[in-house]
Structures are given as structure tokens and as C-alpha cells.
Structure 1
Amino acid sequence: MCRWIAYTGKPIYLDTLVTKPDHSLVVQSRHSQMNYTKNGQLLSTNGDGFGIGWYDKRKEPGLFKDDLPAWHNTNLNNLCHQVKAHTFMAHIRATTTGDIQRANCHPFRYKNWLFQHNGHVSHFPQIRRELQLSIAPDLYPLLQGTTDSETFFYLAITLGLLDEPKAAMQKMVEKVLQALLKIDQDGVLNLSCAISDGEKLYTIRYSHNEAPMTQFVSTDTTCMDEFAQARPRIPSGSTVVVSEPLDNISSKWRKIANHSFTTINNNSVQSETFLP
């Protein structure tokens, strides 16, 4: 599985979360602690590419992706040290669907929207055609890769993501489940997603027929106090959502419940039930 982080609040340098924490996203690309296969075996490496999307002064987000492992790309360290953003998301990939190539790396961008995903759907090669035929004709040519995640994103846009994010994601999940259950009543769908329009941050934690992917949130400026003192805290009035905490102070991180749609705006974190 993959790992991701999402941040919104006062502008900070990207390296505050991506490279500097003791258990930063780059560290997790080699040594994550919460990825498991179905048989319980720990999978600690997320080396199939990475990506960062960020919002600064322009409406459309910046985007930097590569199919190299995050630990292997010195440009990532340099960019994170120089770029400051009020909202950003970052993702490291361990593929179960789609080739190792830049087009398959997260986040995915459409206009001012970003989307990233940890999880999977079983039998994607068998249901891909049905799902992609439901994507709006003007959006279909924008598909560049071969992942379930990118298909989910453009299907959600087709179903109204830009106007009603929660309703559109519910409709998208319903379509995926309809296609999946036609061929396998025991089929699995697992979603831990982050979505942003540059103003609000949304997350989803949902699973069908499988234990959910992990997702945690913190508004506590001390959530990474295992930093050396010279390293910065996150500023007050900011929110961080992660697949896996960035240090070992777990009490500072609140687990987001399964079957939840969470909206984060101006440091307000509101979770609602999410069911298709």
C-alpha cells in the first residue's frame, strides 16, 4: 500500500513534514510501520514513485512527480527546502495496480483540484472498462495512466466533485461497488483519500470487505515534538492528516473513523458518515 500526508493552515516549507520529521514521509518510503498484506506480513517499502502538489498564490496547484523512490531523488529535498505553501499533499507509492511510471504517481490534478489515494479495488482490470466508459467524454482524454486511483478521480469529477465533493465521492464508490459485485460478491474496495480545491481539504476513509487503511489527523502543534529543538513545529491554526504518524507520540494524533468524510477548513475538522 501507499503512504500520504496532507496539510492545510498557515504557510510552511514543505520539508517541515515531507523530509524533516523523525518518521517523515521520505523515511516512511523505506521504513513504514503500518502497511500490511492480507496475510499480515509487514511491507515497509514504498518505492514505486512519489509526488507533491501544493497551493501558494496561484489558484492552480504546483505539481512535482517522479517514478523514482522518494529517498533516491535529491531534487525532492531541494524543492521541499525552498517551497512554502498553505495547503499541500504528498504521496509515496507502493503499487498494486498500474505500472511504475510517472503518470501513475499521485497526486492527480484537474484544474485547481488535487486527489491522492491509498488503497485498492480487487479485479480492477475486469471492471476498468465499465468504470472508464462512465467518465465524461471531455474528461476521458485526460486519463494518462493505468491506476484505479486516477479512474476514481475522473469518475468523481464526472459525478459532480467540483460542486458537491461528498455526494460525488459517494456516487463514485457506489458505481465501483456495482461493477465489482457483479463479478465477485467478496470483492474488496479500500479507500483512504485526500482531496483539495486549494481552499478546503477533504478526506475519505472507507472500506468494503477488508480492514480499512489507516488515517490520522492532528491540530496539535506538538504532534512532532520528537524533533530536535532546532526543527520547527507546525504553526498554530494548522491541520495535518496522515496515513501514518510522523513521530511516535500517538496520543497527539486522532484516528479518523472508518466510513468517514472529513472536511477541514480554517482549522475546523468536521467528520460525517460516508456510505454509498
Structure 2
Amino acid sequence: MCRWLAYKGNPVQLEAVLFRAQHSLIDQSLHSRLGHTTTNGDGFGVGWYAPASDTPFRYRCVQPAWSDRNLREAARAIRSPLFVAHIRAATDTPAQETNCHPFRYGRWLFMHNGLIREYPKVRRDLMLAIDPALFASVEGSTDSEVMFFLALTFGLQVEPVQAIERMVAVIEATGRRHGIEHPLNMTVCATDGEQIVAVRYSSETESRSLFHSNSFRHLRELYPDDPRIKVAGDDAFLVLSEPLVDLPGAWQEIPESAALVARGSSVEHRAFTPALP
């Protein structure tokens, strides 16, 4: 399907995560170890926040991530305290720039791995459920962008986890009306530059892989000579589709039907229970 990651901590070069890690996101675009597809070459995108800007920046491209020389140059130049990145393997919708993640609205960025099953059957109903005031901002044709705008419709900017629960419930109810037994499989990430919200959920309880980093302070004690851990800082945090490095004690799998909210130095785990608005 896809692979994605989100980072917050001390400002670091995007290159450190996207290219230099043992199992970097660029390596995963060719050799994913835990993904539904080994190769993810139907476009990519990065989004990052800078202190002087109210709106996050994006760079999206329909090329495979491994062959884009401009991405390598940009990743060397850009340092950010919070950024996201996504590599895409297309399902029911075409490989085009407007279908590349992350999607953006105001300060919010959104990424998805998975699919709405039999999306062409339910697309019209789901798009009509988007708030008319938001509809003009939908640019592409992918199910992931519709998920984002449904979450915005149901209050993502106020109560992010509850809004995603409502979004999921509407998709499942719509799919089942159309005779689809397991309408949705997803890991999603949403961020406004202050918090990272990640959810692992699927209608059939067989979700795509999702992990988060353990305490960087603890990792620094375990690996005091590792410069990557030092530069990120004690409060750094990563949530990602699959681990970047093989360090014992570095990663923890996020369980099924679970949400995670990382803000400042705190990381909150909670059960994820879809509920219709």
C-alpha cells in the first residue's frame, strides 16, 4: 500500500530520516519489509513546519521517491522540528500529484496507508458527506483525501481523535449499505504542527503495521555514542509504518484499534472506537 512517518523533536535535517537511516523511507520505497507491497513507487510527499510560517510547507511529486534528485537536495537543506513524509503505492486512483500525500488544509497535514474497499461504489456518498464549505479544497481523486476532509467536517481541528472516529464510522456505515463487509483498512496521521495524532484501525482488525519510538532519553542511556539519538533530543518522537533502524528497545508496535496523541513531551495512548456523529 504505502509507507509513512512523522517526526517531532529538535530540528533535524530531513535527510537524516529520509535517506541516511538503515531502513530509511527511501529504502522502504524499494524494499519495504512489512508493507502489503514491497515497492512503493507511485509518488511521494513531504510536509514540514517552520517557526516563521503559519502554514506548513509541502513538496509532492508523482515520481518514485528513489529517483527524485530534487528531493535529495531539499532533504539536505531543510531542517524542521516537525515533519511528515509519505511514499505511495496506488490502489483505485491514478498516480498524479494531487493524489500524493500529505494533504493540507490550513495548519493541518494528513497521511494514510490502507484503503477504502470498493471505493468507486461509495465515493459519491462519501463526498456528499463533506461539509460544503470545505468541498472546494478537495483537489484529487483518492480515498485518502476524502477521509481527511470527512475528518475536518467532523471536527478534526477541535477534537482530532473523536473526529477520526466519526469519519471511520461514516465510512463503515456507508460501505455496509453497499454490501461491503470490511469497508476500511487504515493507519493515519494528522498533525497541526503542535501535535501528532496517529491511529491504527481496520474493519477486519488486520491493520497495516504501525510503530512508535520509545523514550529517546532511555535510548540515549542505552546507546550513549549514537549521534542520531543525541541530535534528536530527549523529547524526540517518531511514529512510522516500519522501523528505520534495528536497535533493540527502540520501537513499540501500536496495537489494533488504538490512537496515539504526541504533544510536547507527553504521549497519550487511547482506545479507538468509531462512533457516528
- Secondary structure of the residue that 1:44 maps to in structure 2? coil
- Secondary structure of the residue that 1:251 maps to in structure 2? coil
- Give the aligned partner of residue 50 of structure 1: 44
- Secondary structure of the residue that 2:84 maps to in structure 1? strand
Structure 2 Cα separation of the partners of residues 213 and 144 of structure 1: 26
- Secondary structure of the residue that 1:138 maps to in structure 2? helix
Structure 2 Cα separation of the partners of residues 190 and 267 of structure 1: 30
- Give the aligned partner of residue 164 of structure 1: 159
CA RMSD of aligned residues (A): 1.8
Structure 2 Cα separation of the partners of residues 102 and 75 of structure 1: 15
- 1:176-212 CA-to-partner distances (Å, cap 9, x unmatched) read 0010011225233111011101111110111112511
Of stretches 91-100 and 184-193 in structure 1, the one that deviates more from structure 2 is 184-193
- Give the aligned partner of residue 6 of structure 1: 6
- Secondary structure of the residue that 1:203 maps to in structure 2? strand
- Secondary structure of the residue that 2:63 maps to in structure 1? coil
- Secondary structure of the residue that 2:194 maps to in structure 1? coil
- Give the aligned partner of residue 40 of structure 1: none
Structure 1 Cα separation of the partners of residues 103 and 65 of structure 2: 17
* Partner of residue 108 from structure 1, selected from 77, 82, 103: 103
**Superposition pairs for residues 84-163 of structure 1, below 5 Å?**
84-163=79-158
* Partner of residue 266 from structure 2, selected from 249, 264, 268: 268
Structure 1 Cα separation of the partners of residues 113 and 94 of structure 2: 16
Structure 2 Cα separation of the partners of residues 271 and 23 of structure 1: 26
- Secondary structure of the residue that 2:189 maps to in structure 1? strand
Cα offset for 1:22? 1.1
- 1:198-227 CA-to-partner distances (Å, cap 9, x unmatched) read 11111011111251111101144459x99x
Structure 2 Cα separation of the partners of residues 259 and 267 of structure 1: 23
Cα offset for 1:235? 2.4
- Secondary structure of the residue that 2:133 maps to in structure 1? coil
Q: Do 1:199 and 1:265's aligned partners in 2 also have CA atoms closer than 8 Å?
A: yes
- 1:14-55 CA-to-partner distances (Å, cap 9, x unmatched) read 11111110110001000000123xxxxxx2100000000001
Cα offset for 1:166? 1.2
Structure 1 Cα separation of the partners of residues 180 and 57 of structure 2: 40
- Give the aligned partner of residue 192 of structure 1: 187
Q: Do 1:195 and 1:203's aligned partners in 2 also have CA atoms closer than 8 Å?
A: yes
- Secondary structure of the residue that 1:247 maps to in structure 2? coil
Q: Do 2:205 and 2:257's aligned partners in 1 also have CA atoms closer than 8 Å?
A: no
Cα offset for 1:232? 6.6
- Give the aligned partner of residue 61 of structure 1: 56
Q: Which runs of 5+ in 2 are unaligned?
A: none
Cα offset for 1:267? 2.6
Identity %: 37
Cα offset for 1:106? 0.2
Task: Provide the TM-score with structure 1 as the length reference.
Answer: 0.92
Q: Do 2:42 and 2:63's aligned partners in 1 also have CA atoms closer than 8 Å?
A: yes
Cα offset for 1:249? 2.5
- Give the aligned partner of residue 208 of structure 1: 203
Structure 1 Cα separation of the partners of residues 239 and 100 of structure 2: 19
Task: Provide the TM-score with structure 2 as the length reference.
Answer: 0.92
- Give the aligned partner of residue 73 of structure 1: 68
Q: Do 1:219 and 1:267's aligned partners in 2 also have CA atoms closer than 8 Å?
A: no
Q: Aligned residue pairs: how many?
A: 268
Q: Do 1:152 and 1:172's aligned partners in 2 also have CA atoms closer than 8 Å?
A: yes
**Superposition pairs for residues 10-29 of structure 1, below 5 Å?**
10-29=10-29
Q: Do 2:117 and 2:180's aligned partners in 1 also have CA atoms closer than 8 Å?
A: no
Q: Do 2:171 and 2:183's aligned partners in 1 also have CA atoms closer than 8 Å?
A: no
